[in-house]
Structure 1
């Protein structure tokens, strides 16, 4: 992997991780409101989650997207750039000698990357939403020991 690609991978992971950390609490509120769990408003949902589950309730389901964001971003951006290169090569036979990427190449590369993005992102989102929808942090386990309802993405699968 070249230096440029490694920098892209690291930048994609850092940017993706930052977006997950910053946006996840609001995404949790959005998921709860969309489920129609009887929260009157956004502010009511925020207060209820905080009161019942503390600040940690806003971060349920965050571990899996955070762990997978580097792979997700690198695959999607890699598919986009490789598709673009492939199209350019087959259109010009020598990509360096040909004109810059044409709009049709960009459009097709974006479509292919979008399909891959949905294929990778949908399962991650499903697991994240199932974990976010847990409103009870613990359930009674055997011998009176409290255990998490769905302790993580592996058991959610």
Structure 2
């Protein structure tokens, strides 16, 4: 996800059997709070590069990531690098909570289908299914947030002026109605399902390679969390960037220009070629590692803190 998919907190670093039981026993509250904090860390760490990614995806005036950075900085200053951050920051907690719930539901489906107990380890393929499944309920909340975020991020280049996320949302509704907030929902789903599969799969494999242990068993160092989470984020964007380009184009286009993501794809192939699908890959990859490293670390630290106080 353009906003990135988080991991199940019960599968993140746990240093003892007692702590593991505590996490699984209070997954509803602790997963919600720690996931929300991790999401906020991700947004704060990765938003400037996300802004560059969206600008490069929706305009042809930039020659490179560095050129986009220089022009954005000259135009809006340092504060301009955080334009549009309020919407994903405020929405991080519910989005991550829903994603955790979707991931847990995916795991439960796999355990039910294969008659596994709650303590049985899931195979890589089962983890991949659960990861992909998590993107489905999350998209319902993610799509309008992405619509508002992208609209704010390109506002200066389109001549529009908004006071903030709420004003941008009202402007979108005035122009295209309430349904316009959900423009790009299918494109968001096309991005996040395969992206989540790549994310969870990469995380599990990298973590296992770094610790020589299966997920949820034993302890894992902060360095391993940062490495596995960062590389998993890069794996996610390696798969998700083409549909993300289509989503950004669709969500920032004037009302009525496109009937759907298919028309965006056809027009892009006709006028710009296949290379346009990978526009913004540079900032997306640069953002992926620190943003996801911050997310994983934020989830783990907040989870450990909550385990100590209750």
* TM-score scaled by length of structure 2: 0.41
The equivalent residue for 2:89 is 66
Q: Which has the higher contact order (CA 8 A, sep 6+)?
A: 2
Separation in 1 of the partners of 2:62 and 2:125?
A: 46
The equivalent residue for 2:79 is 56
Do structure 1's residue 124 and structure 2's residue 145 form an aligned pair? Answer: yes
Residues 52-79 of structure 1 show CA distances to partners (whole Å, capped at 9, x for unaligned) of 1111111111001000111001111112
Do structure 1's residue 5 and structure 2's residue 5 form an aligned pair? Answer: no
Q: Post-superposition, which runs of at least 4 consecutive aligned residues in structure 1 deviate over 6 A? A: none
Segments of 5+ residues of structure 1 without an aligned counterpart are 140-147
Question: Is 1:77–1:113's contact at 8 Å kept on the other side of the alignment?
Answer: yes
Report the alpha carbon displacement of residue 113 of structure 1 after superposing the two structures with TM.
Answer: 1.2
Separation in 2 of the partners of 1:26 and 1:32?
A: 10
Instruction: Classify 1:49/1:78 alpha carbon distance in 2 versus 1 (closer, same or farther; 3 Å).
Output: same
Which one has a bigger Cα radius of gyration? Answer: 1
Residue of structure 2 aligned with 1:114, choices 130, 135, 146: 135
1:1-157 counterparts in 2 under 5 A? 3-89=26-112, 92=115, 95=117, 100-101=121-122, 105-135=126-156, 149-157=161-169
Question: Is 1:28–1:132's contact at 8 Å kept on the other side of the alignment?
Answer: yes
Question: Is 1:39–1:45's contact at 8 Å kept on the other side of the alignment?
Answer: yes
Residues 88-141 of structure 1 show CA distances to partners (whole Å, capped at 9, x for unaligned) of 34654x845x954456654443332122233332221121111011227xx8xx
Instruction: Classify 1:107/1:30 alpha carbon distance in 2 versus 1 (closer, same or farther; 3 Å).
Output: closer
Aligned residue for 2:62, secondary structure, equals coil
Cα root mean square deviation, aligned: 2.6
Separation in 1 of the partners of 2:111 and 2:101?
A: 15
After superposing the two structures, state which structure 1 stretch, 101-110 or 125-134, moved more.
101-110
After superposing the two structures, state which structure 1 stretch, 45-54 or 31-40, moved more.
31-40
Higher helix share goes to which structure?
A: 2
